Amino acid sequence: MIVYLLCFILFLVGLYGVITRRNLVKIVISLSVMEFSIFLFLALIGYVDGGVAPIVDPANPDVIYVDPLPQAMVLTAIVIGLATTAMLMSVIIRLYRKQKTLDIREIKNLRG
Amino acid sequence: MEAAISVILVLMILGAIFAIHAKDLLSAVIACGIVGYGLVICFLLLKAPDLAIVQIVVETITLVIMVAVVLDSTREEPFTKPDRLGFVNIVTALLIIVVVFYFLNLATASLDAFGEGSLRMAEHYITGAAEKTGSANLVTGVVFDFRGYDTLGEATVLVTAVLGVLTILRIKGKK
Amino acid sequence: MKGMTLIVKKTTQLIAGIVFLYGIYVIIHGHLTPGGGFAGGVILAGSFILLILAYGSDFMKLSREESGSTITENLAVLIFLLTALAGMFVGARVFFHNWLPVGKVGELVSAGVIPLYNIFVGIEVAASILTIFLALVIFKEEMTK
């Protein structure tokens, strides 16, 4: 169970970064670290001791396979994480052109 | 197996802590790469080759986009000492972290031990799946045949994200 | 933006074609070996991004808007949806029905509609990531003009 504990500590490190940092790029990096910890947790749940990768080989048909269902969920989630990070980065570029700073306390006016 | 994954997780935690406290933004982005590539090794140890391939290429593309953004703006972070508002922020963050950690421990106390998960739910996806869907790769069979709606949703999310990026990065319209 | 030095350009000339072929291999063998549509699509986009980064956008003459990749991406999603809908008219009337013959496990032409799904999802993911990157490059160009 110590693997689950370390996974949660990685999640909490990311959460600390999102709450306390003032630079926009560091907030996005911390969000990305939180996502990675969740991918690892989902893949850890589906592991079986002594299992093999879930590819069926017609030569030896009965071995124990690792659970393929959490792997399918993480596959979808990784690509969606990429789309989210790309969109956040484009918002940051636009903000920097307008306000000339990356500090979230200086960006106050909602207009323009 | 548990020991190997624990060692790599400790390295990932150290990399994440450095990425948060780095003074130079480029160093922070590269330290984010430590977490991503360490995750690839963890996936390979957990017998998931599909996920390892996807994670390694996606991590490379993410790093390229982040470096393209960081090199274009200011690279230093001038605020190092927290003032009074920053101090309140840090204390609040630590309180939230302690509470969330307690609840997370409570939630996983009833999970099976690592590696002895009962395959009760996965029996229907493993036995006879290769004959029903026809594909030797069980994960592809689950993603495209048993759970096709999730793949449809993911394609929609990608199209919407591209739509959002094209709208945000638009130069003023052609006169 | 300007390109890189001569060594990078020569190495990219040799490598970009191999990466492109590897991406197509991972997409087509998605139902036999690990990989599939998503991984192969991102590898395919990676080969184009390599060319753009090495030669610079002045040399590649990137036009003012990214219309080619957007049209490809939308067409690929449309055909994916139509292939999934065609399952409603054949056989058991459900969405996402596997309506081509299943064949023998382990051959290249098998598993019904799944190779078609892999190919179209791969094209769509590659076009998406290429569009995002082109939007970034063209924005930088217009801003520094």
Structure tokens at A75: 């596959």
Please check the confidence at residue A112 and state whether its pLDDT lies above 80: no
Contact criterion met (CB < 8 Å) for C34 and A90: no
What are the chain B neighbours of C80 within 8 Å (beta carbons)?
A: 152, 155
What are the chain C neighbours of A86 within 8 Å (beta carbons)?
A: 132
What is the number of helices (H) and of strands (E) in chain C?
A: 4, 0
Q: Greater confidence, C70 or C2?
A: C70
What are the chain C neighbours of A58 within 8 Å (beta carbons)?
A: 105-106
Q: Amino acid letter at A55?
A: I
pLDDT of amino acid C10: 93
* Secondary structure, 3-state, C89-139: CCCCCCCCCCCCCCCCCCCCCCCCCHHHHHHHHHHHHHHHHHHHHHHHHHH
Q: Amino acid letter at C81?
A: L
Instruction: Give the minimum alpha-carbon distance from B108 to chain A in angstroms, rounded to a whole number.
Output: 8
- Of the CA atoms within 13 Å of residue C58, those in its CB half-sphere come to 5
User: Please, which pLDDT band fits residue B79 given cuts at 50, 70 and 90?
Assistant: low
SS3 A29: helix
pLDDT of amino acid C58: 79
Nearest CB neighbour to B125, from listed A47, A55, A69: A69
SS3 A55: strand
Pairs across B and C, CB distance < 8 A: 125
Please check the confidence at residue A87 and state whether its pLDDT lies above 90: yes
A33, A39, A62, A64: best to mutate for the B interface, most B CBs within 10 A: A33
Share of chain B above pLDDT 70, in %: 93
Query: Are B138 and A67 in contact, with CB atoms under 8 Å apart?
Result: no
ipTM: 0.90
Write the CB contacts of B113 (distance below 8 Å, at least 6 apart in sequence).
Answer: A1
CA geometry: angle A77, A51, A63, nearest 5 deg: 120
pLDDT of amino acid A111: 59
Of B27-41, B101-115, C82-96, the least confident: C82-96
> How much is the mean pLDDT over chain A?
88
Instruction: Give the minimum alpha-carbon distance from A76 to chain B in angstroms, rounded to a whole number.
Output: 7
What residue has token string 């793949």?
A: B151
Query: Are B130 and B136 in contact, with CB atoms under 8 Å apart?
Result: yes
Q: Measure Cα distances from B132 to A65, B124, B146, C17 in Å.
A: 17, 11, 10, 37
pLDDT in tens, C1-57: 778 889 999 999 999 999 999 999 999 998 889 988 999 999 999 999 999 999 888
| A17 interfaces chain B, CB cutoff of 8 Å | yes
Between CA B114 and CA B47 the distance in angstroms is: 14
Contact criterion met (CB < 8 Å) for C38 and A75: yes
The closest of B142, B126, C121, C39 to A73, measured between CA atoms, is: B142
pLDDT of amino acid C79: 93
User: Please, which pLDDT band fits residue A39 given cuts at 50, 70 and 90?
Assistant: very high
Write the CB contacts of B132 (distance below 8 Å, at least 6 apart in sequence).
Answer: B145, C102
Chain A's closest residue to B65, CA to CA, is A86
Structure tokens at B161: 């994200």
Cβ neighbour number for residue B55 with a 10 Å cutoff: 25
pLDDT in tens, C96-130: 677 777 777 777 777 778 888 999 999 999 999 99
Between CA C7 and CA A66 the distance in angstroms is: 45
Share of chain A above pLDDT 90, in %: 50
